[in-house]
Amino acid sequence: MTFITRFAPSPTGPLHLGHSYSALLASDMAAAEGGHFLLRIEDIDRFRCRANWEEQIYDDLTWLGLTWPEPVMRQSSRVSTYEKALKTLWSQGLLYPCTCNRREIAAAAGAPQEGVPLHGPDGIIYPGTCRHVSERSGPIPQDLPLRLDIEVAARVVPDLFRTAAQPYTKTAVFEETGAGPEGETGPVTFTADELRDTIGDVVLSRRDMGTSYHLSVVLDDAAQGVTHVVRGQDLFEATPIHVLLQALLGLPTPVYHHHKLIRDDAGKRLAKRDDARAISKYRADGISAEQVRAMVGL
Ligand code: GLU
Ligand code: ZN
């Protein structure tokens, strides 16, 4: 099997040191395996993405010495694929509309013992307010956010949580060759109940987008034939939802390699808008691509 990986930035700001680590590592791993390094532009958020940032991405990555096959996949050109997948899930009764805003979700989630509502990969875990009141039949609603009913999904998904002997309680697994935030590596297992309790009913179709990060990423990785996903540890927690979506949509699950996050001098993760560590800034300051490599430990 040919090793295929990708770097999938969103053109919402300048790439910084953390991005250079992610892209260089993925490209190095592909080269070491005699495989391919692909680029994908994650531009589903049309309010935050800008053409000039996309141009800057190509520029920065080229300066770093990276190459990738053309044409580059851009999520904005894949709307019909996302629509089709949503229709499939809708027709199985796995989605429901929900217009609850952040404030309503926080209020409904309440404050458990420790005083902070439980958080999942998308923020506060949705308490399920609309799960049993929203209409799930008829044509798929347009322009309404749609959530995945994770418990029903876990019950109907073929193979992931079920065997003939265990129709729901089987443990799902994905292979991790890097590490999660707690050092999770090797086969990482999770149960349907853990999915429900630590992730909840995530939004699969956002208003104004007609998709979401979770839905697009699994469809695009499959369409690009990605065998190894190399990305930051901050996305480790979202991986079980990706594995569930792959099973629901009949897509293969790649191997995952979550890598360390590059931190600033105070130990804080680099923010998207950390312009001080923008690749273009180092470049303007006369730093070489080799020096950037050394700075991130490659
Ligand atoms: N577009 C995502 C980001 O900019 C990366 C998604 C992924 O690698 O799965 O963080
Ligand atoms: Zn709601």
Q: What domains lie within the chain, and their CATH numbers?
A: 1-76+263-298 (3.40.50.620), 78-260 (3.40.50.620)
Q: How far is the CA of 90 from the centre of ligand 1 (A)?
A: 25
pLDDT of residue 96: 97
If one residue of 10, 237, 269 were mutated to test the ligand 1 pocket, choosing by the most ligand atoms within 8 A of its CB, it would be 10
State residue 297's pLDDT score: 94
> Residue 166 has what pLDDT?
82
Quote the ligand 2 centre to 158 CA distance (angstroms): 27
What proportion of the chain, given as a percentage, has pLDDT over 90? 83
Instruction: Enumerate residues with CB within 5 Å of ligand 2 (an ion).
Output: 98, 100, 129-130
pLDDT of residue 114: 55
Q: What is the mean pLDDT of residues 238-247?
A: 98
Q: 3-class DSSP state for residue 159?
A: coil
Of all atoms in ligand 1, which is nearest to the CA of residue 230? 8
Cis peptide before 121 (omega within 30 of 0): no
Q: What is the mean pLDDT of the chain?
A: 94
User: With 70 as the cut, is the pLDDT of residue 273 above it?
Assistant: no
**Ligand 1 pocket, Cβ-based, cut-off 6 angstroms:** 8-10, 42, 217, 231, 235
Q: In what order do the strands lie in the sheet with 73-74?
A: 4-7, 36-41, 73-74
Q: Are 6 and 12 in contact (CB under 8 A)?
A: no
Q: Residue 290's pLDDT band (boundaries 50, 70, 90)?
A: very high
The letter for the amino acid at 127 is P
| Chain-centroid distance, C-alpha 81 | 17
Q: Relative to the alpha carbon of 109, which ligand is closest? A: 2
pTM above 0.75, yes or no: yes
Question: pLDDT category, 62, cuts 50, 70, 90?
Answer: very high
For 24-33, 58-67, 117-126, 271-280, which range has the lowest pLDDT when averaged over its residues? 271-280
Comparing 164 with 85, the larger pLDDT belongs to 85
Tell me how far the alpha carbon of residue 88 lies from the centroid of ligand 1, in angstroms: 24
Q: Rounded mean pLDDT of 241-269? A: 93
CB 30 within 8 A of CB 224: no
Q: Which residue from 5, 42, 45 has its CB within 8 A of the most atoms of ligand 1, so it is best to mutate?
A: 42
For position 115, what pLDDT does the model report?
63
The mean pLDDT value for 38-57 works out to 97
Reply yes or no on whether the pLDDT at 148 is more than 70. Answer: yes
